[in-house]
Amino acid sequence: MRKILLLVAMLAVFIQPAFAESLTDKEKTKQSIFHGLSAADAITTIVGVGKGLVETNGILGAAPEPITVVTFFVARSVIHEYVTPMIDEKLRPYWQNTWIGVAGLAVINNLVLISKY
């Protein structure tokens, strides 16, 4: 199942540019920030689990394998990339800013927890 999800996510990345054209430059920048934070979240999650910390994300489980973490974050980013252009232009800044905030706080939380161990 993981291999199928990873394959679908990878294929979707190649199709993605058609949707990105409907975003403004500022919105594309926010998408890039979100994707960067998602990558940082994945890395810090893998490091934290490797140090014995327990993952609290119910989808990933308490001690996910690195491939599960990568698949989850790639799928989440791809879905975010497809959904964002579908959001009304007036609501899109709230959508993007909220997800950037959530991802940023997750990275900070992970870094704090990792630094304690």
The predicted-structure confidence for 1-49, as pLDDT tens digits, reads as follows: 556 555 555 555 555 555 556 899 999 999 999 999 999 999 999 999 9
Which pLDDT does position 87 carry in this prediction? 94
Which pLDDT does position 23 carry in this prediction? 93
Query: Mean pLDDT throughout 83-93?
Result: 95
Which pLDDT does position 117 carry in this prediction? 80
8 Å CB contact between 93 and 31: no
Which pLDDT does position 16 carry in this prediction? 52
Q: Cβ of 44: how many Cβ atoms within 10 Å?
A: 21
Tally of domains within the chain: 1
CB neighbour list of residue 2: distance below 8 Å, 6 or more residues apart: 67, 68, 71
Which pLDDT does position 22 carry in this prediction? 87
Residue 67 lies in a domain: yes
Domain that holds residue 30: 2-6+24-116
Residue 13 lies in a domain: no
Residue 63 lies in a domain: yes
More confident residue, 3 or 58: 58
